[in-house]
Structure 1
Amino acid sequence: MNWYTLAFMAFTGVWGFGNVINGFSEYGGLKAILPWLIIFALYFVPYALMVGELGSAFKDAGGGVSSWIQSTIGARMAYYAGWTYWIVHMPYISQKPNSVLIALSWVVFQDSRISEMNTLTMQLICFGIFILALVLARRGISILKKLASVAGMAMFVMSILYIVLMMAAPAIAGDQTIAIDWSLKTFMPKFDVAFFTSFSILVFSVGGCEKISPYVNKMKDPSKDFAKGMIAMTVMISICAILGTVAMGMMFDSNNIPGDLMTNGAYYAFEKLGSYYHVGKFFVILYALTNLTCQFAVLIMSIDAPLLMLLDSADEEYIPKFFFKRNQYGAYVNGHILVFIIVGLLIIIPAFGIGSVDQLVRWLIRVNAVCMPLRYLWVFVAYIALKKQADKFPTEYHFVKGKGLGIFFGGWCFLITAAACIGGIYSENPFELILNIATPVVFILLGLIMPVVARKENNRENLQ
């Protein structure tokens, strides 16, 4: 595999148009550019290169985080890593029905009326969408993987298309676009509490590149080409983040950002693009249909795939045998029951304390930004453990060869991730703050309880 092939694979797996929207919304429009540059330089580059060294060291272990922890630390910590990877998908799954419903509303009505819906009504509909997805996941429909892949690629193409067309829009649409003031004050953010408590949004946006670690040993020259591929990916993502933010700044006033940008921003963007190019609602309908397909397929895959990763390699010493029951389609049906309970609560409970759809969507994104990066912590734990035992695990590719320097970078990224997760918990809304604290705490407690239940079950069987 060539370095540029890896770069494109990693890019499509990590980046999405929604990241631009979230950064623009949370960091005051064009002021998001500097935070993006900070996160890329100080966090994403070392993170991606560490993943390459881990993938090279454990090329026969499938490249999963749990297998890295198993090899470097032990089975119990590997269970906690696997549990974390699975459980943090619960808020992610609970967010997807909202995305499906918002996309469906834009397909049908081509306007933002979804923001006016009663939150309890919306969440009940989302609960129905989730149940439908759960039923389909239990049947193991393989075509959805292909559908998700095609829809994901289409979303990637539309994201790039948006940037290209928007860059050309001023020449076509003239005064309909916003002329950007290129002075320093336009791009300089305030380094206040909001700046740091929103950092989790950026960490959440650039995470997940450990999924490409198995490919490091399939490269022609891993010691050189993996680093080149990762740097190329970082440059591509940086360009998309910066140009995407600039494109948004040509559409939306950075000093007057719509309150529903996280809910409807992407649709507003493609709607305006259609008006600039005189094609009516074509772009917004195309984007909404693509997003609807992608979000629903990802919802089903997110119910099943992380559970398979947890239980396929799990030790019955840590997880009760009850969860290993499969149906005729190979789905872990009792595991799906636990998913149903957790996600059902995450869908319904917020509706009783969050008053508007726009506020609800923003909370869902922020709680994901708190929980999802928790799984990245294990990547850095594994890297620190690898560098401490460098002689035991020879690799073709090294991010850094020095043991001390490697431990420093692993600790640095661990601290940034942990700080982002903790900072992201803060909210001025007491109900949201309680949910932000309770969600990860309950997840951790469930992970601690499982081995206790499994041990009691095993002891009972041994006595019989």
Structure 2
Amino acid sequence: MASDVTETKKLTLVSLILMIFTSVFGFANMPRSFYLMGYGAIPWYILSAITFFIPFAFMMSEYGAAFKNERGGIYSWMEKSVGPKYAFIGTFMWFASYIVWMVNICSTIWIPFSNAIFGKDVTSTWGIFGLNSTQTIGILGIIWILLVTFTASKGLDKITKVTSVGGTAVVILNVVLLIGALIILIANGGHLAEAVASSQSFVKSPNPEYQSPIGMLSFLVFAIFAYGGIEVTGGLVDQTEKAEVTFPKGVTIAALIIAVGYSLGIFLCGIFTNWNDVLSQKGVHMANAAYVVMQNLGYQLGQSLNMSQAASLTMGAWVARFVGLSMFLALTGAFFTLCYSPLKQIIEGTPKELWPGKMAEVKNGMPINAMWVQCITVIVFVALVSFGGDAAAKFFSRLVLMTNVAMTLPYMFLSGAFIAFKNKKEIVKPFEIYKSKSLTWICTILVTFTVGFANFFTIIEPATVGNLGDTIWMIAGPLFFTLVALAMYSRYEKKCSKNTVCSK
């Protein structure tokens, strides 16, 4: 198969930067961060770019270059660097994080859908058969995962079109945010809706839940999560023109653009959004903050252009509809891809004996049996959380926190394996950025510590204010999947000790 792609057109510096940007940059991260920390989010994004994003991206590029012909992705990277058990636990945690992500999206995807149809989030009013809104959204989420799994198991030839349409719409959203905010700033004579009183405005959060030192430190995981997906860029090394020069330059430029873009976007939110007037209202939470902020952009734009109150509200509703449609299309494309891609990678990379029954079977390029087991697992989680009796805002916040923690933990496994990878002389490394041992150690410790530090404070923060339940939930998800991985690997080892014929 490798010979079929040797003549593929190589990525130029500009195309590489664009691919990294579209893989990493998430529009909703900016208004969500403004909701959590106000302008105080900006220093955390800059800090996490320096201590995590750039050094981690360079690690992934070295992995990608060394193992560019391996089908198992990150499993192969860690298996050949450290060992199969370490690799399986790390990869299973990575795969499990996408299960948590799917549980999250099964519920939260109805918020952009609601905004697309109604111009605002009305999911808190939904109810069928006497069920409350949280339970109704849970039922819709179960129907969604069943529909997606059924469709994906038949093939995904048209899904890329949905993804590209959603991606284009999100790019337009960034342009709308920039131009709209600048028009409002000029019309208001340079006055900011969220005033910058002093340097404290870039440190202290207007959100009461993020004003304590532990609360502020726990925000670091949101900044790291916003840079998530950078591990994917490791696979682009062999597709890049003059990789030894172009790739590090492309990663550095893309990282700077993304870091500056996030920081600028958060500041733009403050041009037209007063935190206390807009985001402190009942019903505003992390899952719908982006739509609330952008609806306010439309309203404030109308007001700055001297439109009537009714016309301004209408403009706000239509901006919210556009945001909702864009995010719904983008999430739909991502969901279809991620319901099979991580699963396919872990199954193709690991020994088939690790998987019970016929889970390792791949038909028509799809791990169909494993996809349905995954579907049932997601349904169980959605049902457990949806019918747990929590209010909608708490329900959504818990899911977002679970996703952030679960999706960033595998980064520690990847960075932790990097020193072993560098020490193995038998691994051919055609592309190296970390050429000295001291630099390798410094960056490995820096990245691993940053991710661990961020997750530690995110996990303990709820317990420090008496909310032990959220802390337990955040620990329980990753811990559960780690125990499952250990049990599966132990079963595999016992099977291999009885049967000498085990696939690699």
> TM-score when scaled to structure 1?
0.91
| Alignment partner of 1:235 out of 244, 252, 256 | 256
| Alignment partner of 1:144 out of 156, 159, 162 | 159
1:314 pairs with 2:350: yes
Instruction: Deviation per CA, 1:262-287: give whole Å up to 9, x if none.
Output: 23222223322323156723322222
1:129 pairs with 2:144: yes
1:109 pairs with 2:118: yes
Shift of 1:132: 1.6
* Equivalent residues of 1:11, 1:233 under 8 A apart: yes
**Structure 1 340/173 Cα, relative in aligned 2: closer, same or farther at 3 Å?**
same
* Equivalent residues of 2:31, 2:293 under 8 A apart: no
Written as runs of structure 1 = structure 2, the 5 A alignment for 1:194-343 is: 194-255=215-276, 257-258=279-280, 260-275=284-299, 276-277=301-302, 280=315, 281-327=317-363, 329-343=364-378
Who is 1:446 aligned against? 484
Aligned partner of 1:409: which letter?
C
Shift of 1:140: 2.2
Aligned partner of 2:176: which letter?
L
Shift of 1:224: 2.4
1:169 pairs with 2:184: yes
Who is 1:370 aligned against? 405
- Distance, in Å, in 1 between the alignment partners of 2:327 and 2:153 is 23
Who is 1:41 aligned against? 50
* Equivalent residues of 1:155, 1:291 under 8 A apart: yes
- Distance, in Å, in 2 between the alignment partners of 1:386 and 1:458 is 26
- Distance, in Å, in 1 between the alignment partners of 2:391 and 2:497 is 49
Aligned partner of 1:48: which letter?
A
- Distance, in Å, in 2 between the alignment partners of 1:176 and 1:416 is 36
3-state DSSP class of the match of 2:352? coil
Aligned partner of 1:14: which letter?
V
**Structure 1 63/240 Cα, relative in aligned 2: closer, same or farther at 3 Å?**
farther
**Structure 1 313/377 Cα, relative in aligned 2: closer, same or farther at 3 Å?**
same
* Equivalent residues of 1:56, 1:396 under 8 A apart: yes
- Distance, in Å, in 2 between the alignment partners of 1:141 and 1:357 is 33
Shift of 1:309: 0.7
- Distance, in Å, in 1 between the alignment partners of 2:430 and 2:498 is 47
3-state DSSP class of the match of 1:288? helix
Written as runs of structure 1 = structure 2, the 5 A alignment for 1:90-101 is: 90-101=99-110
- Distance, in Å, in 1 between the alignment partners of 2:426 and 2:143 is 51
Identity %: 21
**Structure 1 262/180 Cα, relative in aligned 2: closer, same or farther at 3 Å?**
same
Who is 1:89 aligned against? 98
**Structure 1 19/5 Cα, relative in aligned 2: closer, same or farther at 3 Å?**
same
**Structure 1 159/363 Cα, relative in aligned 2: closer, same or farther at 3 Å?**
farther
**Structure 1 179/452 Cα, relative in aligned 2: closer, same or farther at 3 Å?**
closer
Shift of 1:394: 4.5
3-state DSSP class of the match of 2:339? helix
Shift of 1:90: 0.8
- Distance, in Å, in 1 between the alignment partners of 2:85 and 2:74 is 13
Shift of 1:250: 1.9
- Distance, in Å, in 1 between the alignment partners of 2:492 and 2:58 is 37
Who is 2:459 aligned against? 425
What do you get for the CA RMSD once the two structures are aligned? 2.6
* Equivalent residues of 2:103, 2:382 under 8 A apart: yes
* Equivalent residues of 2:72, 2:346 under 8 A apart: no
Aligned partner of 1:371: which letter?
A
- Distance, in Å, in 1 between the alignment partners of 2:154 and 2:387 is 32
* Equivalent residues of 1:53, 1:397 under 8 A apart: yes
Aligned partner of 1:434: which letter?
I
**Structure 1 405/179 Cα, relative in aligned 2: closer, same or farther at 3 Å?**
closer
1:56 pairs with 2:52: no
- Distance, in Å, in 2 between the alignment partners of 1:452 and 1:354 is 37
| Alignment partner of 1:403 out of 434, 437, 445 | 437
* Equivalent residues of 1:33, 1:187 under 8 A apart: yes
Who is 2:26 aligned against? 16
| Alignment partner of 1:120 out of 122, 135, 145 | 135
- Distance, in Å, in 2 between the alignment partners of 1:285 and 1:199 is 30
- Distance, in Å, in 1 between the alignment partners of 2:124 and 2:453 is 32
* Equivalent residues of 1:96, 1:296 under 8 A apart: no
Long gaps (5+) in structure 2: 1-10, 127-132, 205-210, 303-311
Shift of 1:384: 1.4
Greater shift, 77-86 or 127-136, is seen at 77-86
Aligned partner of 2:225: which letter?
F
Who is 1:412 aligned against? 446
Shift of 1:460: 7.3
- Distance, in Å, in 2 between the alignment partners of 1:304 and 1:212 is 19
Shift of 1:373: 0.8
- Distance, in Å, in 2 between the alignment partners of 1:165 and 1:237 is 20
- Distance, in Å, in 1 between the alignment partners of 2:266 and 2:455 is 24
**Structure 1 422/344 Cα, relative in aligned 2: closer, same or farther at 3 Å?**
farther
**Structure 1 333/79 Cα, relative in aligned 2: closer, same or farther at 3 Å?**
same
- Distance, in Å, in 2 between the alignment partners of 1:282 and 1:174 is 26
* Equivalent residues of 1:43, 1:413 under 8 A apart: yes
**Structure 1 372/7 Cα, relative in aligned 2: closer, same or farther at 3 Å?**
same
- Distance, in Å, in 1 between the alignment partners of 2:367 and 2:318 is 41
- Distance, in Å, in 2 between the alignment partners of 1:164 and 1:8 is 21
Instruction: Deviation per CA, 1:134-190: give whole Å up to 9, x if none.
Output: 222222232113322331232133124312321232224669961632521211235
Shift of 1:385: 1.4
* Equivalent residues of 1:16, 1:159 under 8 A apart: no
**Structure 1 48/459 Cα, relative in aligned 2: closer, same or farther at 3 Å?**
closer
Shift of 1:61: 2.7
- Distance, in Å, in 2 between the alignment partners of 1:296 and 1:194 is 32
User: Aligned pairs, how many?
Assistant: 460
3-state DSSP class of the match of 1:323? coil
Who is 1:434 aligned against? 472
- Distance, in Å, in 1 between the alignment partners of 2:47 and 2:389 is 32
**Structure 1 381/147 Cα, relative in aligned 2: closer, same or farther at 3 Å?**
same
3-state DSSP class of the match of 2:184? helix
Greater shift, 316-325 or 299-308, is seen at 316-325
3-state DSSP class of the match of 1:250? helix
> TM-score when scaled to structure 2?
0.84
